[in-house]
Amino acid sequence: MREDSDVAADYNEIFRLLTSGKPDNIQKLVDETHPADVLQAVQDIGDEDYRYLLVLPDDYLADVIDEAEDDDKYEILKVIDPGRIGSVLNRMSVDEIADLIRELEDDNKDAVVKSLLRGRTKTDVTKLLKYDEETAGGIMTTQFIAIYASNTVMRALNYLKTEVNAETSWYLYVVDKVTYKLMGVVSLRDLVMAPFDTLISDIMNDNVISVRTDLDQEAVARLFTKYGYAALPVVDENGRMVGIVTVDDVIDVINEEATEDIHRMGGIDKEEKIDGSVKDAVRSRLPWLVVNLATAILASSVIAKFNGTISQIVALSAVMTIISGMGGNAGTQSLTIVVRALSLNEIEKENGLRILGKEIVTGLINGLVIGALVSIIALFYDFNPWFGLISGVAMILNMLAAALAGYLIPIILEKVHVDPAIASSVFVTTVTDCLGFFFLLGLATIAMPHLR
């Protein structure tokens, strides 16, 4: 494995070749360097000045743009001469072009399709833009290889030699000659191993797994994870094959969905980027901070109800933060497991009660251990066994409440069609803060004669 310094040195060399102004160096770059590395070199060494890429030939520049994020694709296209943009676009993958066009303003989308795209690329991109971008239709490509069951192996191999517009040739999809309905799939390995006169119908696998165009992209990703395929065919409502989803697109989906869930659990807009503007960061974070302020006021109102108790037993103020903080941590643990399980469809009616029981027992055991430790700690604040007992019991109760809240709140939010990743953490923290204060201060009020 290369050290970071080696990677940086490679990017420096790539950037040197790119900016040398020598045709031989540019050709060497095209022949020996992956487009993703060229893009990274310009972003890291060239400070994202995409004009450096303009020396690349159109087909290689198209490959570089394919590797970029959607926002960066647009930035690269802005520096390309208008007379050259059409040539570059028509050499890009149709699914990448569709993703790029989706990022444009509505009034610019039709103009780009009509004026810059041509032929089959224009037709395919127009089809893709009809689908929701977070469905199988939205992430698929129409560049796949389809053959007929009546073909021989020899004819299919000859067809492969001429079919250069496919995303992948690992799988050949067998479709009906008239209806174009998906009938089966043949792997490239099976094709080259079979005698030339063998019919495709004799070697195809008719037990082919496909996805509908309207299937959510997360469900598509789960199928890839389950079966380990490199590609899956996509069919319309009539079973006609319209495209394929490839594993590289699914990796993007998995990263996108994981990032979205992490952002939402932190109360951050899914679109916020690390190198974004201050304005975008404030707009992303401020609304949830306001919501958190409201829940903090709710927790403080619980404390206000017991001001008399706190004024008589000052040591309570030291233990309060321990009770609420540990409850919040325990709730976050349960919440994280449940939200992730919901996103993967791992919680169902059959196992829901068992998982709830597991969380309760886990909360009780953790509560007993942490409660015992809190009791010992509380003794150092007040040197009163009753104070230690009350603190420990409050901790146990709050840990149980945290386990219940961490499980039930995301389940309830899912039932009412609210994304659990967005709102769960706010509600769970509110529950553990309010109940933690209530348990400790309430028990202290009841046991006041033993605490003075």
Per-residue pLDDT at 3: 41
Q: Residue 402's Cα: distance from chain center in Å?
A: 27
- Amino acid at residue number 388: G
Per-residue pLDDT at 267: 64
Longest C-alpha distance within the chain, in Å? 97
| Residue that the structure tokens 């201060």 belong to | 441
Per-residue pLDDT at 6: 44
Q: Give me the CATH topology for the region 4-130.
A: MgtE N-terminal fold (1.25.60)
Supply the DSSP string of 271-312, one letter for each residue.
Answer: T--TT--HHHHHHHHHHHHHHHHHHHHHHHHHHHTTHHHHHH
Domain-wise residue ranges, the chain: 4-130, 146-245, 278-451
Other beta carbons within 10 angstroms of residue 70's beta carbon come to: 13
Enumerate long-range contacts of 1-4, CB under 8 Å, 24 or more apart.
Answer: none
Distances (CA, A) of 383 to 22, 181, 213, 320: 81, 79, 68, 17
Q: Give me the CATH topology for the region 278-451.
A: Tetracycline Repressor; domain 2 (1.10.357)
Closest to 366 measured CA to CA, from 412, 411, 332: 332
C-alpha radius of gyration, the chain, whole number = 30
Instruction: Tell me the C-alpha distance between 116 and 32, whole Å.
Output: 30
Q: Give me the CATH topology for the region 146-245.
A: CBS-domain (3.10.580)
Q: Residue 231's Cα: distance from chain center in Å?
A: 19
Q: Do the domains at 4-130 and 278-451 have one common CATH topology?
A: no
Instruction: Tell me the C-alpha distance between 43 and 15, whole Å.
Output: 10
pTM: 0.65
Per-residue pLDDT at 9: 44
Per-residue pLDDT at 4: 43
| Residue that the structure tokens 């769970």 belong to | 428
> Reduced to 3 states, what is the DSSP secondary structure of residue 337?
helix
Instruction: Tell me the C-alpha distance between 389 and 371, whole Å.
Output: 9
Task: From first to last of the 452 residues of the chain, give the pLDDT tens digit.
Answer: 334 444 444 888 888 889 888 889 899 999 989 999 999 999 888 888 999 999 999 999 999 998 888 778 888 888 888 888 888 888 888 888 888 888 776 666 777 777 777 777 888 888 888 898 889 999 898 888 899 999 999 999 888 887 656 667 788 999 998 899 999 999 888 998 999 999 999 999 988 899 999 999 888 988 888 888 888 999 999 999 999 998 888 888 888 777 777 766 666 666 666 666 787 777 767 777 787 788 888 888 888 888 888 888 888 888 888 898 898 889 888 988 888 888 777 888 788 889 899 999 999 999 999 999 999 988 888 778 888 999 999 999 999 999 999 999 989 988 888 778 777 888 888 899 999 999 999 999 998 888 76
Distances (CA, A) of 442 to 79, 272, 348, 358: 66, 42, 37, 28
Instruction: Tell me the C-alpha distance between 168 and 244, whole Å.
Output: 9
Per-residue pLDDT at 48: 87
